[in-house]
Amino acid sequence: MIRAATVHAQLLLQPRSYASQAKAASRWPLVSRKPSLLGCGRPFYQMGTRGQDENKVLTARGCHTSPESQELAKKSCVPCSSKDLHPMSEDSAKKLLGQVNGWELTTEGGILKLHRAWKVKNFVKGLEFFKLVAAIAEQEGHHPDLHLVGWNNVKIDVWTHSVRGLTDNDFILAAKINHLNLEGILSKRANVQK
């Protein structure tokens, strides 16, 4: 636990590097049932029992406390060209939604997708957010559709183009995005969930 804490402390001290966040996010160490560092801005070992307000703030940062969500964020995507990849049913997708807090199912042109929106501080922070997501996407070989509209509204759609539907890859990518440390990027007021 101490070693992992040291690793996490180092991560905290390093300047925000997209590649290191993406790398850390994809090798998510399941060291305890408490949230790890990247999404919460505080080392997991400092986490006590949380009040409702703290949970709201953590969720606003995209941080997720559920062990299932952390487990999913640890996984890696399989190649989208894999013959074993098939689109999942809407029921299967609904069952997995609980592990990607804040995301919802949408259908566009008959294609089932994962969708989530955030309000960011400003246009440049929106692009910074995109760079963090891009690092994970490149690492995983699985890419989201990124939208930055009205200068401070980020919208991300995730789906598997090769099968024109949703696969586990999409939920893994959404979980990794949820575990990014978005402190300093999100607009304070607009993201604390009711």
Ligand X SMILES: C[C@H](O)[C@H](O)[C@H]1CNC2=NC(N)=NC(=O)C2=N1
Q: Which residue number, 79 or 184, has a Cβ lying nearer to ligand X? A: 79
x-or-dash string of contact with ligand X, 50-89, rule CB under 6 A: -----------------------------xxx--------
Q: Report residue 145: phi and psi, to 5°.
A: -95, 120
List the one residue out of 121, 151, 154, 156 whose CA is nearest residue 137. 156
We find the least distance from the C-beta atom of residue 81 to ligand X, in angstroms, to be: 6
Instruction: Reduce the DSSP state of residue 154 to 3 states and report it.
Output: strand
Structure tokens belonging to residue 56: 């709201």
Q: Which residue number, 161 or 188, has a Cβ lying nearer to ligand X? A: 161
Structure tokens belonging to residue 183: 């402190």
Q: Which residue number, 111 or 190, has a Cβ lying nearer to ligand X? A: 111
x-or-dash string of contact with ligand X, 108-147, rule CB under 6 A: ---------------------------------xxx----
Q: How many residues lie near ligand X (CB under 6 A)?
A: 9
How many CB atoms lie under 10 A from the CB of residue 165?
A: 21
List the one residue out of 16, 53, 70 whose CA is nearest residue 178. 70
Asked whether the beta carbons of 156 and 116 are under 8 A apart, the reply is yes
Query: Which member of 124, 161, 188, 193 binds ligand X (CB under 6 A)?
Result: 161
Binding site for ligand X (CB under 6 A): 79-81, 141-143, 160-162
